[in-house]
Chains A and B, each alone.
Chain A
Amino acid sequence: MFDQSCSRRSFLGLAGGVAAFAGLGLAGCGSAPASGSAAGGADAALSGTINCGGATSFQPLIEAVADEFMTENPDVVIAISGGGSGDGISGIVDGSLQIGRSDVFAEEKVDDESQLEGLVDNQVCIVGMGPIVNANVDIDDITTEQLAGIFTGQITDWSEVGGTAGTINVINREAGSGTRATFEAAVLQGAEVPADFTPVAEVDSSGTVVEQVAATEGSISYVAFNYYETNEGIKALNVDGVEPTQENVETGDFNIWAYEHMYTRSDEDEATAAITQAFIEYIMSEDVQSTTVIEQGFIPVSNMQVQKDVDGNVTPVE
């Protein structure tokens, strides 16, 4: 009866769909094994493959650094994939990745911290982020309290924060985004967003945020500094009178920033550990930190005069 009610074309389409879905499901369960196979001896050249996946925010930076690293170590392959911070932490926890990238502390991502046993947190650089508005919004400065009011739905009109009257259109990142977690931690300072507050959109990437803010009258959102110059339709705001610049993040005057984490395992086998160790050291080297990291819009760890812990407490660096 199926053949009668449904042409061959549609049957093939349906079958294809089912097969593709099944294929995806199966691919999802596979996990790539580590295949590090360095010959012993400290002087021996590194060789092997490691998988590095997770947060996409600093993926371009890691790709650039990995290219340089692989040129210097021709027998090493660093396979870089995206997927998001959640994927990065899942991957390092279950062993399918040898380096898991994340925008946020792994502690914030899991319910049960015993999952994190054996993980090593490598903070490779800092990313600063700040509020952006549509270029036609006529304010240049905003306070943290006003931001908190806007992003919890208490303030809904631009006239309440010193602009020309008009609806404030809040564009958020999706639930679970590292950028959103960082922004909310620094701005809301513990206040909860009421359940009935509805933003006009929740989007999946900073690139889309920039496009939508540029296209939507009266809109406000937040992105990392390296997205500021990508579109003329957006405008970055000062927060509490402090300009969103790398220098102000380094001194601690501008508080919306986060570490970019590369998680590794302390119980990795020797060959793999040698490569991940060498790669992380390479990223942390003065050479890379002062060139590639800065060129890609991130802030070197060594420049920071302040530090942040898991709970968001900021203290001066000793």
Chain B
Amino acid sequence: MANIMPKRRLENIGLGITGACVLLVAVVVVTLIFMVAEQGLTTFFVDGFDPIAFLTGQHWIPEQDMYGALPMIVGSFSVTLLSTIFALPIALGSAMFVVEVAPGFGTRVFQPLVELLVGIPSVVYGVLGLYVVNSFMRMVFGASAGTGAGILSGSIVLAVMILPTVTTLSIDALRAVPNEYREGSYALGCTRWQTVWHVVLKSATPSIMTAVILGMTRAFGETLAVQMVIGGVERNMPTGLLSPASTLTATLTSGLNNAVAGTEFYHALWTLGLILLVMSLIFILIIHLIGHKGAKQNG
């Protein structure tokens, strides 16, 4: 009997510590959402702006009290989608090469190389984008490119930034496909290409989708690098791939430096933060849904 009490006490201490960790995380998340929502909703409930007009307004001009978030929403989504379109084929191609063609080289040389890309701070990508990508745009498109800043430049820089995330996760996805599938396919007389395309890729699709969404989440939330190359123009709708634009994150960061707490401009910026938060919640939800579906399919 004497031994049982300390054990139970130990158990309780363990429960207390781990429980406190969970509680702390939960409190942080809830506080965060509450804070952003409280400030962000002020725009509608106290300053009296119409939520629909805020989301669909085509001009963001704080000095004229025009707060329309559509230019930034369009900007954010177009750079996110474009960068994914640029990055995905390259990521899938190299993942196939690493897993199916040359596993030895892949694990020893290629993967560490790609992981190195993850560690590079975004400001470095931004500076490179500013000097390399933007000058390249000016060279190729001449006067119509202006400073070279625009949606296309932003997408190219973002594509390079999300490439390692998407590649690494795609490699994991392809690796997770059981070898029996491949052997079965070969036994039926399929070529390597047929095996990779019809069997491996197909059964890895849910995990690859997760890779893509995670890449998109990163692209959507990236601030500094995009801000440096996209041009930062949010007062008007972007009209083409070369036209300067802005993203939700970029406008939020550059605006907060100049906004005074308690003003309409300041609240409007928090509303942008709220939109961002909702968007990332949606992304995370999609990842969960895909995970569910994949788990069901694979049994």
A residues whose Cβ falls under 8 Å from a Cβ of B: 1-2, 4-7, 9-10, 13-14, 18, 21-22, 25-26, 29, 83-87, 89-90, 93-94, 106, 109-112, 115, 166-167, 169, 171, 174-178, 192-193, 195-204, 208, 211-212, 215-219
| Contact of B182 with A by CB under 8 A | no
Are the CB atoms of A201 and B244 closer together than 8 Å? yes
Are the CB atoms of A200 and B244 closer together than 8 Å? yes
From residue A48, how far is it (CB to closest CB) to chain B in Å? 25
Are the CB atoms of A111 and B143 closer together than 8 Å? no
Are the CB atoms of A215 and B169 closer together than 8 Å? no
0/1 interface trace, chain B 54-81, chain A, CB 8 Å (1 if under): 0000011111101000000000000000
Are the CB atoms of B210 and A5 closer together than 8 Å? yes
Interface bracket on B: 35 or more
Which of B60, B169, B254, B255 contacts A7 (CB under 8 A)?
Answer: B169
What are the residues of chain B within 8 A of A7 when measuring CB–CB? Answer: 168-169, 172
| Contact of B154 with A by CB under 8 A | no
Cα–Cα distance between A28 and B186 once the two chains are bound (Å): 58
- Classify the secondary structure of B's interface with A: helix
Given contacts A2-B288, A200-B146, 13 further A-B contacts (CB under 8 A): A1-B295, A7-B168, A13-B165, A22-B28, A87-B257, A166-B143, A174-B254, A175-B234, A176-B265, A197-B236, A201-B147, A208-B228, A216-B147
Cα–Cα distance between A243 and B91 once the two chains are bound (Å): 56
Contacts A84-B258, A86-B257 given; indicate if A216 touches B138 (C-beta within 8 A).
yes
Which of A93, A193, A201, A219 contacts B232 (CB under 8 A)?
Answer: A201
- Classify the secondary structure of A's interface with B: mixed
Cα–Cα distance between A248 and B262 once the two chains are bound (Å): 38
What are the residues of chain B within 8 A of A215 when measuring CB–CB? Answer: 134-135, 138, 147-148
Cα–Cα distance between A104 and B35 once the two chains are bound (Å): 29
What are the residues of chain A within 8 A of B257 when measuring CB–CB? Answer: 83-87, 176, 204
B residues whose Cβ falls under 8 Å from a Cβ of A: 28-29, 31-32, 35, 59-64, 66, 130, 134-135, 138, 143, 146-149, 165, 168-169, 172, 206-207, 210, 214, 227-228, 231-236, 239, 243-244, 246, 254-266, 287-288, 290-292, 294-295
From residue A4, how far is it (CB to closest CB) to chain B in Å? 6
Are the CB atoms of A86 and B147 closer together than 8 Å? no
What are the residues of chain A within 8 A of B63 when measuring CB–CB? Answer: 175-176
From residue A109, how far is it (CB to closest CB) to chain B in Å? 5
Cα–Cα distance between A153 and B238 once the two chains are bound (Å): 16
Are the CB atoms of B295 and A4 closer together than 8 Å? yes
What are the residues of chain B within 8 A of A1 when measuring CB–CB? Answer: 288, 291-292, 295
What are the residues of chain B within 8 A of A169 when measuring CB–CB? Answer: 146-147
Are the CB atoms of A10 and B214 closer together than 8 Å? yes
